[in-house]
Structure 1
Amino acid sequence: MAHVGSGATHAVVPNNKNESVLEGMRVVQGRVQFAKEHIDRLYQSAKAMAMDLGLSKRELLGLIHETIDKNNMQQANDIHIRLVVSRGLKSTPYQNPSVNIGLPLVVIIPEYKSVDPSVKVKGLRLITSHIRRGTPDVKDEMWNHISKATDIQACIGANVVGADEALMLDPNGFVKTCNSTNFFIVRNNEVWAPTRAYQMQGITRAKTIDICRANGIPVFEQDFTLTETYGADEAFCTGTFPSHIPVREIDGRVIGNGSMGPVTKRLNELYKQVVQKDVRRQRSEILAKL
């Protein structure tokens, strides 16, 4: 749905897509999984970029619900939504927001999309990228911003050598994240998560840490090295679409026994329970939380 100013007497051109923020969401039985967290993150990124959506959070979620219903997706469990908000139309192709006309453009793209179950069985093969995560004074990695050139370059590097994802380091050389998912390791039954700095604040990442704390699983957000990663008992990636995917190999080193370990498996099962509790709520209850 577009929110565009009216009465313009001059030509308009599309917005530069780099002036956009996005969210990837899962929909189960017509309910957006962890809707509040996703909507809050979108608005935080938009505010950091000085973008006023012209919509309340409830109105935006209402539009998402309307899109789901119009596409008869209320009963499906494998719906992925890509929500993109760009700054909108411009009077001239120029990056300065002062030449924008009206409110931002909101695009809601729903699709049927499920995770290949074999991926959780065989696990991921990662390769460490030479491309480092950026500092917040250049482009804050906390933004869910459509300009992901560094992540894409890291992904291309992984593709070239036949790896599934790229493992990326921070400016200090500590392990940080993968190019499209968050990263964890397990050592001596302790879950280690890289610190929040220099990475996307993943919702599945946060839920995983919360689940650990709620279930007596030791969890630490800390810096750690590739050497400690190679020697981990388990490693896994998290994301809204895949939830928890085990990592079998990093830079040619097999992690643990090369399959999903017991801690990762337990976290995956506990996460499913949290998701089911969240999506059992009525839409009206979800809207009331925004």
Structure 2
Amino acid sequence: MSQSIHDFHDDPRNADIRIWVNGELKSRVDATVSVFDSGFVLGDGVWEGLRVVGGHPVFLEAHLDRLFEGAKAIALRIGMTRAELTQAIYDTLAANGMDDGVHIRLMVTRGVKRTPYQDPRAAVGRATVVILPEWKLAKPETVAQGLKLFTVHVRRGFADVQDPKLNSHSKLNCITACIQAIEAGADEALMLDPHGFVATCNSTHFFIVRKGEVWTSSGDYCLGGITRSNVIQVCREAGIPVFEKNFSLTQVYSADEAFCTGTFAGVVPVRSVDGRGYDEIPGPMVTRLQGLYRELVQRDIAGRRA
């Protein structure tokens, strides 16, 4: 049976979480938005997923950079400064007594519309901002077993169609890819770019290991992943050859190892792509990178504590 890298074991504490909605902390049942909200009507908004370790959102500055960059690109006024948004995140964590093993979904939409129409000028009032924290960790058994990928026909497109750099609420491109992968019995979709080179997965970023080198896509057709960039960073710090480049499925099938990266689960091995399996799960490079990434997380948190 296929599984999602975003699967988690249910935590009963999540039944009583307090969710930040436009400045108010609301219970799970009361945390609602209008049917006229731009995010509900059209998927008009941007979002971030953040991991919380030791009471702090990891790599927060990079996530806020991406959020504000995306909002500016679609002419969306968040209506809060970075400092105000940061304080709201910490206030939400404090209200829930949350410290470790927490994942936050930070969502911003263009707000309520006077009528369900796509023109952004139909929005009235301020943006809708939601901070949704949950006790949630990737299933250890999923991380240990690794992911089964399937290459789908749904492509990551050109920036003039829908810029893949936008972490927007409009995720139908990735959802249709995910559906095809699930129907094929896989855990995650591997997506190609318009030229047939490997781009990314539907909800994570993709890497291969070949003869001691770490390869990932050129980055032209994928979201600017925070974990992706951090893995590239730790490779360079450790003297591991790492390349952002075009490569084909032939090179994926013949690789020594493969893995995916994402905020939720970190560095996760891939056990097979299109039925071509890898010998050791996790392999030596993936094991090393998992350790280096954990060290980077701890450095980030130590800096926040200081």
Q: Give your verdict on TM over 0.5.
A: yes
Counting only pairs closer than 5 Å after superposition, residues 209-288 of structure 1 correspond to structure 2 as 209-255=232-278, 257-282=279-304
TM-score, length of structure 1 as denominator length: 0.91
Task: Select the residue among 180, 183, 191 that pairs with 1:160.
Answer: 183
Is 1:56–2:78 an aligned residue pair?
no
Alignment of 1:32-43 (within 5 A): 32-43=57-68
8 Å Cα contact 1:123/1:246 also seen in 2:
yes
Give the distance between the partners of 1:282 and 1:198, measured in 2 at CA: 32
1:81-100 to structure 2, matched below 5 A, reads 81-100=104-123
Counterpart of 1:138 in structure 2: which amino acid? V
What displacement does 1:17 show? 4.4
Residues 37 and 110 of structure 2 are in contact (CA less than 8 Å); yes or no, is this contact kept in structure 1?
no
- Match for residue 202 of structure 2? 179
C-alpha distance 175-107 of structure 1, shift in aligned 2 (>3 A):
same
1:71 aligned residue (87, 93, 96): 96
Partner amino acid, structure 2, of 1:270: L
Partner deviation per Cα, 1:196-234 (whole Å, 9 max, x = no partner): 111011100000001111110001110000000000000
Aligned length: 274
SS in 2 for 1:101: coil
Q: CA deviation at 1:120?
A: 2.3
Aligned partners of 1:263, 1:282: CA distance in 2, in Å? 29
Q: Which runs of 5+ in 1 are unaligned?
A: 4-11, 286-290
Query: SS where residue 89 of structure 1 aligns?
Result: coil
Task: Indicate whether 1:123 and 2:146 are aligned.
Answer: yes
- Please give the root-mean-square deviation of Cα atoms over the aligned residues, in Å: 1.5
5+ residue gaps in structure 2?
A: 1-20, 24-34
Q: CA deviation at 1:258?
A: 4.2
2:67 equivalent to 1:47: no
1: CA distance, partners of 2:42 / 2:120: 13
In the alignment, is the contact (CA less than 8 A) between 2:42 and 2:118 conserved in 1?
A: no
Identity rate of aligned residues, in percent?
49
TM-score by length of 2: 0.87
- 1:214 counterpart SS class: helix
Question: Aligned partners of 2:208, 2:166: CA distance in 1, in Å?
Answer: 24
How far, CA to CA, are the matches of 1:97 and 1:24 in structure 2?
25
2:286 & 2:136 partners in 1: Cα distance? Answer: 23
Runs of 4+ residues deviating >3 angstroms: none
Residues 104-149 of structure 1 show CA distances to partners (whole Å, capped at 9, x for unaligned) of 1001100010111112221111100011101100100000011111
Q: Which residue of 2 aligns with 1:144?
A: 167
Q: Which residue of structure 1 lines up, in the alignment, with residue 220 of structure 2?
A: 197
